[in-house]
């Protein structure tokens, strides 16, 4: 065991010097964040004592404060070997005032409600439950953290990169003297994920050490930074168009935009770009764009790979509900696996904040006449139904204001069903749809636009919707219905299936809340066409749905023009793994439910599909998937309007600031890039670059790929960056998926998302994309 060594105490002059250094760091970061002299930032930098809550018996005071980088929270730990502990603000999902988390509700009393707050993290990290000394202090923590998070999120990619590099420089400056020795420079190179041999590091150091002092300071560090961040690929592109005194004139810029970026551009557009992005006032005055201005322009979100017009709602939202793909979650309450994992309201928050529009609630009888939600007959923990409804009400429309479907799997007694109905009615209020929109019996679905801010219930109903308008037909159906057991994936004979179905008595109050999404059994497309009303929908296990999508794709597409279909993962997926949603979207299925709690490539593709159209959670199907007489079949691809044969050209040029996969100081990534097209079977293809050894900071490939795309309306393109390993599986670094028709052409930066689907702050790819008519 290593002995723990105390840090040597600093002399008074050294302490003063360190204080001045830290203040300088704070000022620089505050300026970058646009929060100079901000009271909320100063509050966090000063920090304070908070009571950390883990259980009823474990409540301990800990000191929390924001570090000088204005991005990391430090808190003391009493553990012997932990001198300090930190977490990044990038890892925070949301901050909630009050006893909102399961932990605080369970482990604290109501009288401390106003003093409580929770920091909710992205991914599977547990919440941080805290109690402040006063209600005012709790509000101050919450408001200050939310304000700082907003400032960080509003930074441009260029600013985030500068912030990251500056933070690494500060970490490398071990003795905090504002200088870099040669050994500190080598530490810095390791921190930013680039491996260089000692001779090259020495050469780089000597080149920058103009003063011959043996260390770099001031302008020498700036020169080193310039050498390090030089983008040769952009230098070449800029050089081709900088034909006016070594700069780009408005005319040169228009030529670049039209020829390379395939954008319609005018001189007025060019003048606007120079005015907005040119940092040099002299160049701006004479209407020229420098290379620095050009780089800033290429990094702006509006000029990246995703078409900026598709960031907002751009599709027609007035079509019937069945004409849209709908972002949907399965077992939404689970944080992990479905055998023993925890259930949590936080799982609903995460799904809703990601734009999910259909969430699942598995409802069972609980104690004290309060229904609970969990995965029945398993060891998963239980949460109160009413708490879930409250959270859904609070977070449903933060990312999207289009309708949310509550998919009920109901196992409750009539008494507790009545409690469910009461909770939904009182908590959701007028936002809950309890009767058809408009006058009289509807003949089809309303649109997402008509249902903005509304909740729909999907579940069993005792009778037909028509009974609401013809009272004499109200008793036509029985007072009980059969409830599908979605955990049962065994193949059985039809007779056995009938025997295993449970008869479930239904509360009329709950039944009457089911308006547009009545659950019924599927008995074939012909039966559905003849006997089912538009609002009667079926749920399909993934195996059954995949078979129909492969063997009867056209019939499935026609069925899904007028009716909704929900697909859910096989019960055998006890680890909450996922299936590919692509074949089911190809068959027109709207509610393709995935385990949002599981990080995987299928969830990445789902996120990419629904990233456009304002992250509304609704994507309009192409016209030929909204026509009940369509001939479209994604498997056979007979000729029709859907067949628009294109060639997708992708040049993977370079990457910037890739994070380390292995946090060891000596570990440097060997990145490669895989480009994949997903869509109809004829379009499915993938290709990958060679690996670049020992460089995660600025690797370059300059490799060209071509893909045939026959149905671009349904195609997605996915960029995956991995750390190459010759002896085992490659390790995931980041990815980005988007619809092919939402990709901008030309030279584009591609942001990268981590395994949780969250943005990697400074990392990205630089590519050249063209989608052209095939010859």
DSSP assignment of 126-151? PPEEEE-SSHHHHHHHHHHHHHHHHH
Is 64 annotated among the ligand-binding residues? Answer: yes
Residue whose C-alpha is closest to residue 697's, from 764, 748, 651: 764
d(CA 330, CA 409): 11
Which pLDDT score, from 0 to 100, does residue 8 have? 53
Question: Active-site residue 190, yes or no?
Answer: no
Distance CA 32, CA 65 (A): 20
CB 709 within 8 A of CB 646: yes
The verdict on whether residue 69 carries a ligand-binding annotation is yes
Residues of the chain whose pLDDT is less than 50?
Answer: 1-7, 80, 82-83, 476, 478-479, 482-483, 485-500
Give one word for 202, left, alpha or beta, with left for phi > 0 and alpha for psi -120 to 50.
alpha
pLDDT on residue 585: 98
Q: Place domain 321-435+445-461+508-625 in its CATH homologous superfamily.
A: Phosphatidylinositol (PI) phosphodiesterase (3.20.20.190)
Domain 158-229 identical in fold to domain 232-303: yes
**Residue length, the chain?**
775
Q: Residue 579 contacts by C-beta under 8 Å, 6 or more apart in sequence?
A: 542, 546, 569, 570, 573, 594, 602
Question: Whole-angstrom Cα distance, residue 645 to residue 711?
Answer: 7
Q: What is the pLDDT of residue 215?
A: 82
Q: Is residue 52 annotated as involved in ligand binding?
A: yes
- Residue 650 β-bridge partners: 705, 769
Q: Which residues of 500-515 are buried (b: 16+ CB within 10 A; e: fewer)?
A: eeeebebbebbbbbbb
Binding site annotation covers 65?
yes
Point out which residues pair with 503 in neighbouring strands.
482
User: Quick one: which of 262, 320, 270 has its CA closest to 446?
Assistant: 320
Of residues 190, 247, 330, 559, which has the active-site annotation? 330
Residues sharing a CB contact under 8 Å with residue 533, sequence separation 6 or more, in sequence order: 464, 465, 466, 518
- Is 595 assigned to a binding site? no
Q: Is 61 annotated as a binding residue?
A: yes
Report yes or no: 476 and 469 within 8 Å, Cβ to Cβ. no
Cα–Cα distance between 48 and 210 in angstroms, integer? 45
CATH superfamily of the domain spanning 232-303: EF-hand (1.10.238.10)
Identify whether 230 is a catalytic site residue: no
Residue 128 pLDDT: 94
Q: For the structural domain made of 158-229, what CATH number should be given?
A: 1.10.238.10
Active-site annotation holder among 163, 375, 411, 768: 375
66 is in an annotated binding site: yes
Q: Residue 670, annotated ligand binder?
A: yes
Residues 6 or more apart from 218 whose CB is under 8 A from it?
Answer: none
Q: How many CB atoms are located within 10 Å of the residue 550 CB?
A: 15
Assess if CATH 2.60.40.150 describes domain 646-773. yes
Structure-block tokens of residue 503: 């008869």
Q: Find out whether 609 is annotated in a ligand binding site.
A: no
Tens digits of residue pLDDT in 67-104:
888 888 988 765 545 445 788 888 898 899 999 888 89
pLDDT of residue 495: 39
Return the closest-CA partner of residue 754 out of 582, 600, 611. Answer: 600
- Looking at domain 22-154, its CATH class is mainly beta
Per-domain residue ranges of the chain: 22-154, 158-229, 232-303, 321-435+445-461+508-625, 646-773
Per-residue confidence (pLDDT) for residue 580, from 0 to 100:
96
d(CA 337, CA 574): 6
The neighbouring-strand residues paired with 360 are 407
- What's residue 666's pLDDT? 59
């Amino acid at each position: 065991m290593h002995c723990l060594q105390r840090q040597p105490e600093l002399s008074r002059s050294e302490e003063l010097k360190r204080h001045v250094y830290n203040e300088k760091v704070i000022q620089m970061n505050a300026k970058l964040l646009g929060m100079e002299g901000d009271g909320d930032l100063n509050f966090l930098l000063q920090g304070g004592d908070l009571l950390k809550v883990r259980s009823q018996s474990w409540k301990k005071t800990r000191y929390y404060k924001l570090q000088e980088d204005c991005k990391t929270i430090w808190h003391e730990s009493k553990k012997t070997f932990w001198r300090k502990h930190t977490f990044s603000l990038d890892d925070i999902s949301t901050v909630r005032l009050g006893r909102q988390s399961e932990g605080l509700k369970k482990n604290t009393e109501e009288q401390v409600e106003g003093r409580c707050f929770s920091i909710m993290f992205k991914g599977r990290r547990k919440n941080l439950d805290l109690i402040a000394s006063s209600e005012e202090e709790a509000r101050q923590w919450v408001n200050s953290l939310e304000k700082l998070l907003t400032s960080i999120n509003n930074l441009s990619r260029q600013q985030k990169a500068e912030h990251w590099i500056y933070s690494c420089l500060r970490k490398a400056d071990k003795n905090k003297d504002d200088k870099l020795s040669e050994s500190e420079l080598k530490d810095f190179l390791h921190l930013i994920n680039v491996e260089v041999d000692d001779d090259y590091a020495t050469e780089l150091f000597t080149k920058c050490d103009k003063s011959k002092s043996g260390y770099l300071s001031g302008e020498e560090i700036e020169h080193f930074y310039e050498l390090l961040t030089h983008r040769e690929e952009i230098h070449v592109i800029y050089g081709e168009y900088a034909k006016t005194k070594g700069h780009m004139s408005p005319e040169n810029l228009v030529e670049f935009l039209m020829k390379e970026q395939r954008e319609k551009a005018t001189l007025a557009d060019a003048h606007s770009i120079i005015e907005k992005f040119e940092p040099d006032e002299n160049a701006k005055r004479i209407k020229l764009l420098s290379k620095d201005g050009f780089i800033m322009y290429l990094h702006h979100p509006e000029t990246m790979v995703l078409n900026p017009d598709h960031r907002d709602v751009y599709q027609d939202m007035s079509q019937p509900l069945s004409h849209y793909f709908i972002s949907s979650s399965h077992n939404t309450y689970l944080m992990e696996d479905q055998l023993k994992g925890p259930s949590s309201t936080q799982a609903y928050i995460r799904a809703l904040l990601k734009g999910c529009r259909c969430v699942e609630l598995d409802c069972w009888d609980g104690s004290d006449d309060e229904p609970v939600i969990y995965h029945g007959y398993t060891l998963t923990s239980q949460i109160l139904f009413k708490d879930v409804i409250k959270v859904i009400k609070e977070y449903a429309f933060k990312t999207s204001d289009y309708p949310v479907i509550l998919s009920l799997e109901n196992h409750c007694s009539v008494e507790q069903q009545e409690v469910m109905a009461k909770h939904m009615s009182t908590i959701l209020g007028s936002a809950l749809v309890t009767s058809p929109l408009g006058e009289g019996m509807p003949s089809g679905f309303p649109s997402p636009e008509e249902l903005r801010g509304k909740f729909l219930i999907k579940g069993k109903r005792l009778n037909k919707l028509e009974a609401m308008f013809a009272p004499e037909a109200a008793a036509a159906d029985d007072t009980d219905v059969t409830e599908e057991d979605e955990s049962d994936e065994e193949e059985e004979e039809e007779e056995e299936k009938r025997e295993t179905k449970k008869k479930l008595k239904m509360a009329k109050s709950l039944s009457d809340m089911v308006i547009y999404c009545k659950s019924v059994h599927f008995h074939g497309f012909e039966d559905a066409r003849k006997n089912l009303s538009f609002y009667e929908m079926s749920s399909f296990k993934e195996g059954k749905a995949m078979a129909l999508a492969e063997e009867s794709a056209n019939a499935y597409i026609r069925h899904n023009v007028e009716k909704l279909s929900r697909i859910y993962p096989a019960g055998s997926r006890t680890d909450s793994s996922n299936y590919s949603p692509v074949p089911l979207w190809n068959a027109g299925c709207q509610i393709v439910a995935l385990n949002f709690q599981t990080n995987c490539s299928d969830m990445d593709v789902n996120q990419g599909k629904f990233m456009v159209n304002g992250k509304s959670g609704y994507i309009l199907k192409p016209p030929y998937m909204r026509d009940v007489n369509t001939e479209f079949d994604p498997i056979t691809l007979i000729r029709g309007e859907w067949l628009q044969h294109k060639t997708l050209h992708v040049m993977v040029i370079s990457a910037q600031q890739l994070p380390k996969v292995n946090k060891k100081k000596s570990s440097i990534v060997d990145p490669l890039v895989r480009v994949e097209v997903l869509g109809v079977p004829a379009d499915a293809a993938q290709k990958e670059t060679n690996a670049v050894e020992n460089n995660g900071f600025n690797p370059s490939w300059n490799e060209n790929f071509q893909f045939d795309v026959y149905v671009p309306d349904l195609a997605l393109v996915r960029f995956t960056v991995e750390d190459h390993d010759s002896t085992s599986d490659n390790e995931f670094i980041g990815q980005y998926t988007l619809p092919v028709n939402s990709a901008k052409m030309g030279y584009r930066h591609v942001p990268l998302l981590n395994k949780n689907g969250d943005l990697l702050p400074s990392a990205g790819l630089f590519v050249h994309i063209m989608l052209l008519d095939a010859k």
